[in-house]
Amino acid sequence: MTNGAGCLALVLLWVARAATAQARIDERWPLDAAGSVRIVHPAGRVRVVGWDVDSLAVVGTLAPGAGRFYSAGDGHVRKLGVDIPADERIAGRGDLVVRVPRRTNVWVKSATADIEVEGVDGTLDLTSVRGAIHVVGTPQDVTAETMDGAVEIAGGTGRARVKTVSGAILLRGASADIGASTLSGAIVVRAAGWQRGGTGVQRGKFESVTGDVRFDGELGRGGVVEFETQSGNIAVRVPGRTVADFDALTIGGTITNTLGAAQPTPRANGAGQELRFSTGAGGAQVTVRSFKGGILLEPK
């Protein structure tokens, strides 16, 4: 009887351990220096790190219910990720660290997993439904979309396009061509790094419905930058010496300008305020539009 109970206890222990055991992943394949990798990772976290080795390595763990790891491809393109049967809900999280050659083009899709990319110089296409997206480095081109997660892009990109529904967007670094759009999140652009070798924003568009937009940085000479909100406030802080043509308009809000002496006037046709002034020829063109949000133009 005692032996029987002991055996049962051992079996139960083994079953419990098997049910809670994490699957470990440790795989490696050759990958061209400028190859492509496509990653699907539903829940947890996926971290993609650029390295100076012509191979792709994945390490990580999958909790029970997180799905099954898979991979396919060759030295040019590799697909990998975690597969969950279509009729099952995500019941566990996985953590993956994927090391890729620095110039790899990376595509990542997640449901709730956070996506982190560091030191990858290729093109990044990152999509999550509810996870956050963080990019650090100097990728050539970044497209990042998430519904609810926050997005942060730090470093310098040739081109960045970021969209969220309610997630906050933080862009900082030396990007020349950036666009950010959100419905109810906030957009913050910090340009502190642009004085150190950057050219300032050459092309920028920042738009939200209710979220506030704050731009703090340098405008490229000849650059074109637009801000647009429905009810969010817009603050544009640029160096006092900035050469630009400013064109601001709000239908139901107010405009405050401390960049120069020019002050807003009531719109000639219709409600609202408008302000147009120039601090010199050949500079940037800044257009600010808000339906009922306030507009602030001030020196850094």
Partner 1 sequence: MMCPEMEVRLNEYVDGTLAARDRASVEEHLASCAGCRGAVAELRSLVAEAHGLPRSIEPKRDLWGDIARRLGKRETGDGKRWWRGALAAAAVLVIALGLYRLVPPFTAHYRPAGGGVGWAAVQADFDRASGELGRALALERHRLRPETVALLERNLEIIDAAIAESRAALARDPANAELRGLFAAAYRHKVELLRWAAHAATS
| Interface ranges with partner 1 (CB under 8 A) | 129-130, 145, 147-148, 163, 165-166, 179, 181, 183-184, 202-203, 205, 207, 209-210, 222, 224-226, 228, 230-231, 247, 249, 251, 269-271, 285, 287, 289, 291-292
Least distance from C-beta 99 to partner 1, angstroms? Answer: 27
Question: Between residues 121 and 145, which has the closer beta carbon with respect to partner 1?
Answer: 145
> Taking the complex as a whole, how short is the minimal distance between the CB of residue 208 and partner 1, in angstroms?
8
Helix (H, G, I), strand (E, B) or coil at 199: coil
| 46 alpha carbon, distance to own chain's centre | 14
Neighbours of 229 (CB within 10 A): 27
Q: Which two tokens stand for residue 121?
A: 């110089």
Smaller CB distance to partner 1: residue 103 or 130?
130
CB of 279 to partner 1, least distance (A): 16
Please state the closest distance from residue 230 (CB atom) to partner 1, in A. 4
CA dist., res. 206 & res. 288, Å (int): 10
Q: Closest separation between CB of residue 35 and partner 1, Å?
A: 24
CB-side exposure of 300: number of CA atoms within 13 Å?
A: 14
Q: Which of 57, 51, 145 is nearest to 104 (CA)?
A: 51
What's the min distance (Å) between Cβ of 58 and partner 1? Answer: 23
User: Tokens for 280?
Assistant: 């010199």
Q: Which residues contact 166 (CB under 8 A, 6 or more apart)?
A: 147, 148, 182, 183, 184, 185
Nearest approach, Cβ of residue 295 and partner 1 (Å): 13
Asked if 167 and 149 count as a contact pair (C-beta separation under 8 A), the reply is: yes
Q: Which is nearer to partner 1, 23 or 147 (CB)?
A: 147
- Per the listing, tokens 């107010």 go with 254
Which is nearer to partner 1, 4 or 282 (by Cβ)?
A: 282
Question: CB-wise, 55 or 287, nearer to partner 1?
Answer: 287
Distances (CA, A) of 119 to 15, 49, 88, 166, 189: 42, 6, 35, 27, 21
Q: Which residues contact 296 (CB under 8 A, 6 or more apart)?
A: 233, 234, 235, 236, 255, 256, 257
Q: Which of 50, 179 has the CB closer to partner 1?
A: 179
Residue (119 or 200) nearer to partner 1, CB: 200
